[in-house]
Chains A and B, each alone.
Chain A
Amino acid sequence: MKAVLLGATRGMGRAVARVLAARGERLFLLGRNREALARSARDLEIRGAHAPVASALCDLLEPSGFGAALDAADRALDGFNAAILSAGLFAPQDVLEVDADFRRDLLAADFAHSIEWCEAVRTRLLARGGGVLCVFSSVAGERGRSPAVLYGAAKAGLTRYLEGLDHRYHAQGLRVVTVLPGFVHTAMTEGLAPPPFAGTPEDVARRVVRALDRGRPVVYAPGVWHAVMLAVRALPRSVMRRATF
């Protein structure tokens, strides 16, 4: 596998990159902070990734840079065949309701610009006969819920886009893997009270890499969230109005 990863310096993306590194895969990192990229690249090399692990700057809030960043990855990897997007913004609903600037940024990064990034990846992969596009969405997009109205809306849109992309281009060799993490202990969720079935980035990473290998289109992580979301999707609106989860 020759994978380009946006968001692999932190959290779940970091854990996925480590699983790939331990298998000796070729990796290219994208992110916002040059020092963080260099530290993570070194970490992945020592953990077994094919050396050198190179990197380039790429920010979800600046879609004009996506093309150059992916070109750099293509040059370093001699044409990537997998792209993994785990970057994104997050804030609780009460913060997003009052901070209009951050709200606009979050909706742009988690929806419109994530899709722009996927489009840039898609055209490159299709031009070379296919490949894997793996994107971290969220179970927050599976149902409109009062603690995650705005974040959930962005992720719902992203999930539907990925579903459609799979249906439209699967026959041409594009394999789309949508990751739907439930609550996972990372810096992003720090300070939130964890519900039952909270997972670790390492659990998620193992499941994601298995899905990458097998080309499974949707992966809930940890797996128990599949059952949880089945139940949540079945709840009537009258219950959801009163629910606090």
Chain B
Amino acid sequence: MSVPTKEIYGWGRVPVVRAEEREAEDLEAASADASLSRGLGRSYGDASLPARGPALCTRRADRILSFDPDTGVLRAEAGLSLRALNEIFPARGWATPVSPGTQYVTLGGMVASDVHGKNHHVAGCFGEHVRALRMRVGDGRVLEIDDATEPELFRATLGGMGLTGHLLEVEVQLERIASYWIWGRNERVSDFDELIGALRAASARSPFAAAWVDTTARGASLGRGIVTSGRYAELREAPAAPPRLRERIAVPFDLPGWFVAPWSIQLFNFLWYHAHAARTGERIVHPQAFFYPLDGVRHWNRLYGRRGMVQYQCVVPTQDGGGILRRLLEVVSRMGGASPVSVIKDCGEQGRGMISFPMPGMSLALDFPYRAGHTQAVVDALNELVLGAGGRIYLTKDALTRRDHFAAMEPRLARWNEVRRKWDPERRLSSALAERLLDPAP
């Protein structure tokens, strides 16, 4: 039989590669000759795209291998989705310690991206809670590792974008919760300084905090937005029944490429901003609405049409009180690169992951409809500012950053590549992202 190839792309649909992708239930057998493992394909750019050789899709390798209801230690095959985890464990009093903005990710993907969430300032990245990994490293061996037995490999793998080995099993410490319901709070803020102040106050008060910012607002309104914060509800505050995970509506087909344009983004942002009351209120919120508002619409990336979209996320140190973030927003505003889903989040300490994204400071996430030359220019301009401020970008979102920009942002890269070389001397693992940004120049 000839080997069929298919178009493979990330959530942003930029770029697209044609390659072989295999889906397997037995990762240990199937990973022997694969070049990259990928889960649900929710990284935005080229992080999950194979460059040389077949990709192994892990989503069907999703068995739970052990769970201790007393300690909350969970071990599962790497393809288990956070959605499946959320269906089973919160009702028993245990939740993931860190949740990214979507639940359609696998455990393997959460490790490879070392994902962070609204609680980064208190809980750190997902990798801080990973106890052990079973993986097939590039030289072909299958290893069981943790931070004590192989600290270098373990830390290079947290946030290592799947390039240190195929993740086969993940063991993670879940977090004890009284209720899965969220006691949440929305605060509408009318300009940039107010937003930064409210976000810092929310973070000091709450384990979960982040801000949505209206990137179409200019002048005095620049930086207006909604600061969202919350915590798991106490039993006495929560409704008697645990929250039911809801089915979703779907975008049934690709919308035309003009649909997400400045006028529609402006309209959306205006409505979203004014949909939130000017007065701050606290109330019980459904965890899906709180953690994963975009998951409510299946295939929401189709709103951007076949041309796709580009996500951009950076983190910058903010000793200067957030002035650099204001300059980033001004660049977006000036270049007309309006973004409907823009999130600002303060990050806590850097964690164990050797090249993980977060660092103390403020993170800004934006998305843009992809327009070939123009989006590249916006990303370049943002990267110049981030680089100058001593910040860095999130590889899981990236599609367009230039190699020289990234190298200048990441002095940690050389050390990480040394570890990679040790475990994968023939460089059998690869990805489109690695070839674009990470591999040492030939």
Query: Footprint of B on A, CB under 8 Å?
Result: 10-11, 14, 36, 39-40, 42-43, 46-48, 92, 94-95, 185-187, 190-193
Contacts and interface: CB of A to CB of B under 8 A. Distances in A.
- Interface size of B as a range: 10 to 19
Interface stretch (B63-71, B155-163, B308-316, B323-331): B63-71
A92 B63 CA distance: 28
27 contacts: A10-B25, A11-B25, A14-B25, A40-B63, A42-B63, A42-B64, A43-B63, A43-B64, A43-B65, A46-B64, A46-B66, A46-B67, A46-B88, A47-B64, A48-B88, A92-B1, A94-B1, A95-B1, A185-B23, A187-B23, A187-B24, A187-B60, A190-B23, A190-B24, A191-B1, A192-B4, A193-B4
Contacts, number: 39
A42 B66 contact: yes
A191 B3 CA distance: 7
B129 interface: no
Contacts of B307: none
A192 to B, nearest CB: 8
Interface string B64-87: 111100000000000000000000
Contacts of A42: 63-66
A48 B25 CA distance: 21
B22 A191 contact: yes
A36 B65 CA distance: 11
Contacts of A39: 63, 65
Interface string B30-66: 0000000000000000000000000000001001111
Nearest to A39: B63
A84 to B, nearest CB: 18
Contacts of A193: 4
B414 to A, nearest CB: 39
A39 B64 CA distance: 8
Contacts of A185: 23
Q: Which 8 A-B pairs have the closest CB atoms?
A: A43-B63, A46-B64, A46-B67, A43-B64, A190-B23, A187-B25, A39-B63, A10-B25
B198 to A, nearest CB: 41
Contacts of B1: 92, 94-95, 191
Contacts of B60: 186-187
Contacts of B88: 46-48
B82 to A, nearest CB: 15
A185 B26 CA distance: 15
B213 to A, nearest CB: 37
A24 to B, nearest CB: 13
Contacts of B4: 191-193
A45 B120 CA distance: 33
Given A42-B65, A191-B4, 8 more contacts: A36-B26, A42-B66, A47-B64, A92-B1, A190-B22, A190-B24, A191-B1, A192-B4
Q: By CB atoms of chain A within 10 A, which of B22, B63, B66, B67 has the most?
A: B63
B57 to A, nearest CB: 9
Interface string B385-403: 0000000000000000000
Q: A10, A42, A46, A187: which has the most chain B beta carbons within 10 Å?
A: A46
